[in-house]
Amino acid sequence: MSLGSKIRQLRKQAGLTQSELAAKLGISPSAVGMYEQDRREPDSRILSKLCGIFGVRGDHFIMSDKASPDGSIEVSEVFDEFTKRLTTEEGLMFDGVPLNNEDRMKIIDAIKVVAAIAKQQHKKLSENNT
């Protein structure tokens, strides 16, 4: 399910019109429409407001719908979603300083290294427990 579909679903479940949601968010109804049509993505400030309005966690919007029936999801899926978000999100800052593309790539590379180490350690533990 796309981000826009999730926003539309939550809005309808809450019994709100696009205009009512827009008023709560402090944006235009057309912006809500563009979000729901996946023609535009809300920034982190709007996502935070959406979480408050709908009573959901932030990962509700960024997590993949590829979770298994028991709710588990592969770390690689989470990483892929995060990487996509990190490379496309406007206005990201780190300690109040805007991130440039080089900064974003450094963060992604660091996460890849840590993920590879964790995967290797997990594999060794799994082998030892069998």
70-128 pLDDT, tens digit per residue, is: 556 777 777 887 888 888 887 888 888 888 999 999 998 998 898 888 888 888 888 88
pLDDT for 69 beyond 50: no
Residues with Cβ within 8 Å of residue 51, at least 6 apart in sequence:
57, 58, 60, 61
pLDDT band at 63 (very low <50, low <70, confident <90, very high): low
Cβ neighbour number for residue 58 with a 10 Å cutoff? 12
**pTM: predicted TM-score of the whole model, two decimal places:** 0.53
Given a cut of 80, whether residue 46 has pLDDT beyond it is yes
Lowest mean pLDDT segment, chosen from 44-48, 56-60, 72-76, 124-128:
72-76
Classify residue 36 as exposed, middle or buried by CB count within 10 Å of its CB (0-12, 13-18, 19+): buried
